[in-house]
A and B are shown apart, each in its own frame.
Chain A
Amino acid sequence: MKIAVLLKRVPDTETRIKLAGTKIDETGVKFIANPYDEFAIEAGLQLKQKSGGEMVAISLGPDSVQETIRTALAMGADRGLHLKTDGQPYDTLSVAQALAAELKGYDLILLGKMAIDDYNHAMAPALAELLGLPCVSAVTALTIDGTKGTAEREVEGGLEVLSFSLPAVISTDKGLNKPRLPTLPGIMAAKKKPMESKPAALGAARVSVRALTLPPERPAGRIIGEGAAAVPELIRLLQTEAKVL
């Protein structure tokens, strides 16, 4: 089985956002592999262990994304592919076109259901459409048997069970698995694994960021009392001020 895992390098979840024009100020920001992509890496490694084959870790962005690819190599991916751009492009479809150009011939393409920076939840279905493949997004369970697969995904108030045919694009949600940590021998081995770097063939962008702003501050918090004695006052405020009761 030939598996591709797509990775995005994103700021850590504990990052305090400072703005620099239409981007964030990256000074002092710690970058990590997008947490949802780690479930994709783990899912790919488990399938490779079961069925054999090759797993390629792919990331699009500036040179710094090679560090993210190395993480996947340390976890067990066989080789890396870096699609080089100047910065991190925003437009999903433009990026999807660059990725799709490199994704021919895979049995399974795995990626996180969304990136925790742009919150777009869009790459998997967009890629699947460009590649003419079926897609199941945000899966919390995944079984592959030959060219057939089954998956589960959360929907509002329930769970969908789906069957699909391979090749396919699958995006992963938390709950699918517990991603392994890179081991020291894995990290050493990763340094010797092949990594190809080539320019990304981005599509035309139709979406651009005009401004990035901080959300309006909430009014300063207010402590209205201590213990159960404060409950009547809370009820009064919920009724008369917040008007939610």
Chain B
Amino acid sequence: MILAFAESRGTTLRKAAFEAVTAARELGDDVHAIIAGPSGIAAQASQLDASRVLVAEHPGFAQYNPEATAALVAERVKTGGYRAVFFVSTAQGRDLAPRVAAKLGAAFAPDVTSVATNGEEIVVTHPVYSGKAIATLVLTGTPAVIAARPSTFQPARTDSASPSVETIAPVGDPSASRVVVTALKIGGGGKLDVSEAAIVVSGGRGLKGPEHFNLVEDLAASFGNAAVGASRAVVDAGWRPHSDQVGQTGKVVSPDLYVAVGISGAIQHLAGMRTAKTIVAINRDKDAPIFKVADYGIVGDAFEIVPALAAAVREARRSG
């Protein structure tokens, strides 16, 4: 049996919840899921493609509660006899999974891109040096704690699953945690994060100033649901927030489509986006390193090309 931590925010399951279930399936067919949330979260359980869903409802889980959630998951892993527990390496998963692993004294691997068994061992792959190399790791002992890389395992969302839903009690008092989330400020209009988006449009120094990022934002909007990213140079220059930065000291993304506008393609930037399925580059300099990885490159002035592309994308989506 494998356990998947189903990440939630308020009474809604996150995309990571479904990805964790998919990743867990790589190790076995009998996947259980565990949810910690406020009253009402149990209604979400039937969306999960799991045979059993364990739900702990408590007002102390209305916001992310690191200590109580780690205690709950670790306790269930121990008493339930699970071979492994899966998280996704989101902000929440990165905080929780190592804590659970330390509680259990378990082998731990974060940001994994594949999972397999080899006899008693669990073998995973994990990009290191921001994707410039791939480590194959062997996890020994039971249980193992594994966190999947975001947007790597297809989210298994279902309308037809009928898991048995079991209400479980929190471990200790979730209202007595030493770390408390007092507020969650959602970015303008529930802004889509670059690490979660299927399409990312990023801008670099070639845009010449922060006031020209509206071009990139409009191109992103033309695709419908794309996130706006940025190179390190423009984040360091203060044009864009660090949360938008793609690269080795920012976020590593692997969207279906990555559009680089006015980004030359320094090694540390390429490291953050080279696993995108399709890369489009628009740059004035035909010798820019970004063109070495771009599936489709257009040489020229971003101020001319980007508006034309945004209009053409809108047209294509209207008629397509």
Give chain A's interface residues, CB within 8 Å of chain B.
Answer: 11, 13-17, 19, 22, 24, 35-36, 90-93, 96, 116-130, 134-138, 140, 150, 153-165, 168, 173-175, 206-215, 218-228, 230-232, 234-235, 237-239, 242, 244-245
- The CA-CA distance from A35 to B181 in the complex, in Å, is 27
Residue of A whose beta carbon sits closest to that of B280: A234
Is B11 interfacial (CB 8 A cutoff)?
no
Given A92-B108, A153-B91, decide whether A224 and B178 contact each other with a Cβ distance below 8 A.
no
Contact A161 B267 (CB under 8 A): no
From B66, B128, B299, A135 is in contact (CB under 8 Å) with: B66
Contact flags (1/0) for B114-146 with A, using CB distance below 8 Å? 000000000100111111111111111100000
**A215 touching B134, Cβ below 8 Å:** yes
Considering the complex, give the chain B residue whose CB is closest to the CB of A154: B243
Query: Given A175-B242, A234-B298, are A93 and B108 also a contact pair (CB < 8 Å)?
Result: yes
Q: Please state if B94 and A137 are interface contacts (CB–CB under 8 Å).
A: yes
Contact between B196 and A156, CB atoms less than 8 A apart: yes
Tell me the dominant secondary structure on chain B's binding face: mixed
Say whether B91 contacts A154, CB under 8 Å. Answer: yes
Tell me which residues across on chain A come within 8 A of B233, comparing CB atoms.
Answer: none
A222-B297 contact given A162-B179, A162-B180, CB 8 Å threshold: yes
Q: Which 8 A-B pairs have the closest CB atoms?
A: A206-B107, A129-B102, A122-B98, A134-B178, A228-B308, A227-B300, A155-B91, A125-B99
Question: B195 — which chain A residues lie within 8 A by C-beta?
Answer: 156
**Interface residues on chain B, number (Cβ under 8 Å):** 103
A136–B177 Cα gap in the complex (Å)? 12
Contact yes or no, B301 A227, CB < 8 A: yes
* Chain A residues, CB < 8 A from B108: 92-93, 122, 126, 206-207
- Given the interface contacts A93-B105, A157-B192, A245-B316, does A135 sit within 8 Å of B179 by beta carbon? yes
Residue of A nearest to B93 (CB): A121
* A158→B64 CA distance, assembly (Å): 13
Give chain A residues whose Cβ lies under 8 Å from the Cβ of B26. Answer: none
CB pair A157–B191 under 8 Å, yes or no, is yes
| Distance in Å: Cβ of B199 to nearest Cβ of chain A | 7
